[in-house]
Amino acid sequence: MAETERRVARKATHLPPEATSIPAARHFAVDALTELGGGPRDEIELLVSELTTNAIVHARTPLLLTMCRKGTRVRVEVMDDDPTPPRVNLRPDPLRPGGRGMCLVNALAADWGVNVNDHGKTVWFEVAA
């Protein structure tokens, strides 16, 4: 089968806007990563935790966590119902707790972005598998 004809394997889970969703998202990501053929577990676990935390703290809506393999990359998406894009502070205050999530995404992901629509947003990142 040609590369362009291959089906993209996709794993997804819905999570409530609760603190217990953060470890649940990490466990889902590790399991999904295995099913998708592997990748950098530590980086994905950390970045999934950061995006899930952001969605819970800032959007306060249910979220959809999706993972798929795109060629030589693993793509992770976190969708919530708040269209406000995340603030990206590339120089967080070292004396202030928090505010480092998107800085970590920017530093560790091969690529990342935000897709905003009338119903919310999707924050995504890709890492080399």
Domain ranges of the chain: 10-128
* C-alpha to C-alpha distance for 99 and 26, rounded to whole angstroms: 20
Check residue 7 and give its pLDDT. 54
Percent of the chain with pLDDT over 90: 74
**pLDDT averaged over the chain?**
90
pLDDT(68) > 50: yes
Q: What is the mean pLDDT of residues 25-44?
A: 95
Check residue 3 and give its pLDDT. 46
Any bridge partners for residue 77, and if so which? 66, 124
* C-alpha to C-alpha distance for 74 and 76, rounded to whole angstroms: 7
Check residue 76 and give its pLDDT. 98
* C-alpha to C-alpha distance for 26 and 5, rounded to whole angstroms: 30
For 54-90, b/e burial (b = at least 16 CB within 10 A) is: bbbeebeebbbbbbbbeeebbbbbbbbebeeebeeee
* C-alpha to C-alpha distance for 69 and 65, rounded to whole angstroms: 14
Q: What is the mean pLDDT of residues 32-54?
A: 95
pLDDT tier, 5 (very low <50, low <70, confident <90, very high otherwise) = very low
The CATH number given to 10-128 is: 3.30.565.10
Contact 126, 110 (CB under 8 A): yes
Contact 110, 26 (CB under 8 A): no
